[in-house]
A and B are shown apart, each in its own frame.
Chain A
Amino acid sequence: MGNMRSIEIAVGTFVVAGCVALFVLAMQVSNITAFQRTEGYTVVGYFQNVGGLRERAPVSLGGVQIGRVTAIELDQARLEARVEMTISADYDDLPSDSSGSIRTSGLLGEQYVSLEPGGMPDALQNGSELLVTQSALVLEDVVGRFIFNQSAGDQSE
């Protein structure tokens, strides 16, 4: 019977190890807490162009992540992209005239929404709209403008 016992212990250890591995994968590798922690309030911003912004992209203020983008859709009436952001309830005292802009981390990195604090005394509420927004910088436009300016400059000489 001792043999059976050691086999059962080995199998039990194996199963526990597998489950622990899955748990560690969930926590350490995919960081499951980061998108479960959607408790907070929702803020909406309208952007002319969101570029490569995706859902679950970070929302940061001063480089510190304070929330995530939860939805991106086209607003049919305004013909602008409606970006919904959930901001952690820890940061519930942001000025209501804060502005949002879409930035890129590094030259090729992922895009995120950066908030610039305003100066109003009242705070952003659930459902508030960011009044001032700045679209994503689309690299092709910049390159296109640069080439256009170059060639215009050549002709004037």
Chain B
Amino acid sequence: MTDLLQRLGAATLNNVATLGRAACFFWRILLGLSELLRRPGLLVHQIYSVGVLTLVIIVVSGVFVGMVLGLQGYYTLVDFGAEESLGVLVALTLTRELGPVVTALLFAGRAGSALTAEIGLMKATEQLAGMEMMAVDPERRVLAPRLLAAVISLPLLATLFTLLAIFGAYGVATTMLGIDGGAFWSQMQAQVSFTDDVLNGLIKSLAFGVVAGWIAVFNGYDCMPTSQGVSRATTRTVVVTSLIVLGLDFVLTALMFD
């Protein structure tokens, strides 16, 4: 019985300590961001590997998510004779929820895991320690650009995802389902508001960018410096990011759209 209690207590303390380390880590990275103004080249490199290389999966899944959404929305709406509202349905779903959330999930799988593995391996092979020996601060040199790259890339990716998905739905609606393209756009334009829908979606994806980048970089930095530790940290990044993104999405939705 006391063993059980002890294990529970140890796990709790462990989690709280991790949370504390993550918070301190985030603060130190924020302080390290000023360095990037002097060396923007580091940031460009990271945006390339975090953002540009994620583009393929975002583009492909965006188009397909939009097409599926168009089909499924049509099957439901046609029962009410409201298939012209498909544009509204698709656009609102995507700008408010699916665009930011699905992009963040894909981002965690494609870029977050890569970030964790890269930083974890740097730690395991003692490259980070080596930098410190040379009086190069790895937080400023290695970690800050990666976090900022994630924060910049995710909103851009989410916007592209949303736009491509809407065009995917438009393609399906006009070619396969025979919906008038003019009605598709005009109903959408009448219902979708820039500030309430598009801008709120953008704020969401920015928040997800901070969360995804933070978790990925921290897990890499905090992992056990062994091959098993790196693999565990990579898995944890994907799982934790997905869960937190979904939970945070609910909170943000409740705050934004009342």
* Chain A interface residues toward B at CB < 8 A: 4, 7-8, 10-11, 13-15, 17-19, 21-22, 24-26, 28-32, 34-35, 56, 58, 108, 110
Q: Smallest CB-CB separation from A16: which chain B residue?
A: B156
Say yes or no: A18 contacts B155, CB within 8 Å.
yes
Given A11-B44, A30-B198, the answer on whether A25 and B189 have CB atoms closer than 8 Å is no
Q: Is the CB of A30 within 8 A of B192?
A: yes
Chain B interface residues toward A at CB < 8 A: 41, 44-45, 47-48, 51-52, 55, 80, 82, 91, 95, 153, 155-157, 159-160, 162-163, 166, 185, 188-190, 192-194, 197-198, 202
Please give the distance in Å from A76's CB to the nearest CB on chain B. 26
Q: A21–B45 contact, CB under 8 A?
A: no
Interface contact A29-B189, CB-CB below 8 Å: yes
Q: Is the CB of A30 within 8 A of B194?
A: yes
Which of B82, B166, B188, B198 contacts A26, CB < 8 Å?
A: B198
Within 8 Å by CB of B52, from A11, A21, A25, A35, lies: A11
In the complex, A25→B159 CA distance in Å? Answer: 8
Question: Can you add 13 more A-B contacts, CB < 8 Å, to A7-B44, A15-B47, A22-B159?
Answer: A14-B47, A14-B51, A14-B52, A18-B156, A18-B159, A21-B163, A25-B95, A25-B159, A29-B95, A29-B189, A31-B189, A34-B189, A34-B190
Q: How far is the CB of A16 from chain B (nearest CB, A)?
A: 10
Residue of B44, B157, B202 with highest tally of chain A CB at under 10 A: B44
Q: Please tell me if the beta carbons of B193 and A30 are within 8 angstroms of each other in the complex.
A: yes
A-B residue pair count with CB separations less than 8 angstroms: 76
* Chain B residues whose CB sits within 8 angstroms of the CB of A15 once the complex forms: 47, 156
Q: Which of A18, A32, A108 has the most CB of B within 10 A?
A: A18
The CA of A24 and the CA of B250, in the complex, are separated in Å by 27
A32 pairs with B194, CB closer than 8 A: yes
- Contact between chains at A58 and B156 (CB < 8 Å): no
Contacts of A26 in B (CB 8 A): 194, 198
* C-alpha spacing A110/B52, complex, angstroms: 42
A11, A17, A22, A29: the one contacting B48 at CB < 8 Å is A11
Q: Output the least CB separation between B55 and chain A (Å).
A: 7
**Minimum CB distance partner of A13 in chain B:** B52
Residues of A within 8 A of B95 (CB): 25, 29-30
Q: Which residues of A contact B80 (CB under 8 A)?
A: 108
Say yes or no: B91 contacts A29, CB within 8 Å.
yes
